[in-house]
């Protein structure tokens, strides 16, 4: 191992050691949390290293990971696997391990998202109050978003759980759009430098809107012609603002064009098809989905499945059809984080997309057909028989289910 260094993962002071990836072995354990770097947790101590994790690290070019602990062939003290014939069926341990790992990852994702929203808030405030906007700082944050999305799929796509009514809607919306854009860009294998520009644009795409009175973008009343002109001018304001601070042209154009439609019905310039940059087309799709599934003062959040179906009605008209389909394959037609009812009557949470069929994601069954919560949730594929999805649950049904 290399010498110890000190940094601050997730805001806490710890002394960490670098561990070469080549020293990781399948089914080995680390006695403390294993981190990719100073920000991102890979595994909690109770979860063994997998061959898949090692292969991903190698494929992504990571040579070292970090931990305050040490590697071992055995689980940390107090964590014992359940053996067949010794007080169990051998099936309890995996479900407990999955839940423990899931909770760790979800907590890491929530903390990352909160940090990202705080960054957006400070960035927009610095612009509004002090006319300061640093391209390098925003690009660095964009790189962090890309790394977090790469590591924490599919958990990080559960954006419906991340509303924060205490914050300005546009700030939270920008963070959600950036996460979705990073995921879609990674799925499309966009080169890293273009991906950084895309996520930078997503983080700042509301910089023009933030200068308008909140009642304009939060109101459900019919806007006056003057107010409509103000709304449709916000991409131009944002473009001019970003250009004045020296942001790259691709970033500025993506922000300028993210409300353009494939059929020419969008604004501010009425561009069509390939006249619209790919980054703007991606951002328009991601921004729309993030907006539809968010709670607003004048309406509850739309369910993810319904939102995607509504967007599909405008595929090829408003949205690039290929890019929209890519988003659906990434999230599944019943998006990650959605609650659904199966044909059996059981209810569960969509936890992973199915790369072969977006209609049939992986579901964790949480409640049986009589509404009883399962002690050990069951993971199922939903592509056949009683495990196929009957429908998505409404927001009211979810609230009643979870109590």
Looking at the predicted structure, is the pLDDT value of residue 35 above 70?
A: yes
Looking at the predicted structure, is the pLDDT value of residue 1 above 90?
A: no
| Residue among 256, 202, 254 at smallest CA distance from 234 | 256
Q: Which of 244-258, 289-303, 352-366 has the highest mean pLDDT?
A: 244-258
Paired strand residues for 5: 16
Looking at the predicted structure, is the pLDDT value of residue 69 above 60?
A: yes
Looking at the predicted structure, is the pLDDT value of residue 9 above 80?
A: no
How confident is the model at residue 5, as a pLDDT?
Answer: 37
Mean pLDDT of the chain: 84
pLDDT band at 384 (very low <50, low <70, confident <90, very high): confident
How confident is the model at residue 103, as a pLDDT?
Answer: 79
Q: Edge-to-edge strands of the sheet including 41-43?
A: 5-7, 14-20, 64-67, 34-35, 41-43
Read off the pLDDT of residues 221-246 as tens digits, 9 standing for 90 and up. 666 777 777 788 899 999 999 999 99
For the entire predicted model, the pTM comes to 0.76
DSSP letter (8 states) at residue 85: T
177 touches 287 (CB < 8 A):
yes
Which ranges constitute the DSSP H helices of 258-394? 278-292, 304-312, 321-331
Between CA 155 and CA 102 the distance in angstroms is: 8
pLDDT > 70 in the chain, percent: 85
Looking at the predicted structure, is the pLDDT value of residue 10 above 90?
A: no
Q: Which residue has the higher pLDDT, 193 or 229?
A: 193
Q: What value does the mean pLDDT take over residues 257-279?
A: 96
Length of the chain: 403
Read off the pLDDT of residues 344-363 as tens digits, 9 standing for 90 and up. 999 999 999 988 899 999 99
Looking at the predicted structure, is the pLDDT value of residue 91 above 60?
A: no
The radius of gyration of the chain's CA atoms, rounded to the nearest angstrom, is: 23
Read off the pLDDT of residues 140-161 as tens digits, 9 standing for 90 and up. 999 999 999 998 988 999 888 8
Provide the CB-side half-sphere exposure for 390 (13 A, CA): 12
Q: Which residue has the higher pLDDT, 352 or 198?
A: 198
Between CA 240 and CA 202 the distance in angstroms is: 16
Q: What value does the mean pLDDT take over residues 294-320?
A: 90
How confident is the model at residue 6, as a pLDDT?
Answer: 37
Q: Which of 266-280, 357-371, 380-394 has the highest mean pLDDT?
A: 266-280
């Amino acid at each position: 191992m290399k010498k110890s260094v000190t940094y601050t993962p997730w805001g806490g002071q710890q002394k960490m050691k670098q561990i070469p990836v080549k020293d990781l072995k399948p089914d080995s354990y680390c006695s403390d949390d294993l981190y990719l770097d100073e920000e991102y947790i890979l595994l909690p101590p109770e979860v063994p290293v997998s061959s898949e994790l090692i292969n991903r690290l190698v494929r992504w070019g990571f040579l070292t990971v970090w931990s305050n602990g040490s590697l071992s062939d055995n689980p940390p003290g107090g964590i014992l696997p359940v053996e067949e014939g010794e007080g169990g069926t051998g099936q309890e341990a995996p479900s407990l391990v999955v839940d423990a790992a899931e909770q760790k990852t979800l907590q890491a994702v929530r903390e990352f998202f909160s940090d990202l929203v705080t960054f957006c808030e400070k960035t927009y405030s610095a612009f509004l109050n002090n006319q300061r906007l640093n391209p390098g700082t925003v690009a660095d944050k964009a790189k962090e978003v890309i790394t977090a999305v790469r590591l924490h799929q599919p958990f990080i796509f559960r954006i419906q759980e991340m509303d924060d009514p205490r914050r300005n809607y546009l700030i939270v919306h920008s963070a959600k759009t950036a996460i979705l854009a990073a995921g879609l860009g990674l799925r499309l294998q966009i080169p890293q430098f273009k991906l950084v520009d895309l996520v930078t644009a997503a983080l700042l795409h509301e910089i023009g809107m933030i200068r308008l009175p909140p009642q304009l973008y939060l109101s459900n009343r019919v806007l006056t012609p003057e107010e409509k002109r103000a709304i449709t001018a916000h991409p131009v304001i944002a473009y001019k603002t970003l250009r004045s601070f020296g942001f790259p042209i691709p970033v500025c154009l993506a922000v300028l064009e993210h409300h353009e439609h494939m059929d020419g019905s969008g604004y501010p310039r009425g561009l069509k098809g390939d006249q619209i940059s790919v980054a703007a087309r991606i951002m328009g799709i991601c921004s729309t989905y993030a907006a539809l599934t968010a709670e607003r003062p004048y309406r509850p959040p739309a369910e993810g499945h319904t939102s995607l179906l509504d967007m599909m009605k405008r595929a090829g008209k408003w949205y690039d059809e290929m890019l929209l389909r890519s988003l659906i394959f990434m999230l599944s037609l019943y998006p990650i984080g959605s609650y659904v009812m199966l044909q059996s009557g059981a209810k569960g949470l969509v936890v992973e997309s199915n790369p072969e069929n977006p209609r049939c994601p992986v579901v964790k069954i949480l409640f049986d057909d009589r509404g009883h919560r399962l002690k050990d949730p069951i993971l199922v594929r939903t592509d056949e028989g009683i495990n196929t999805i009957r429908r998505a649950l409404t927001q009211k049904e979810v609230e009643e289910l979870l109590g």
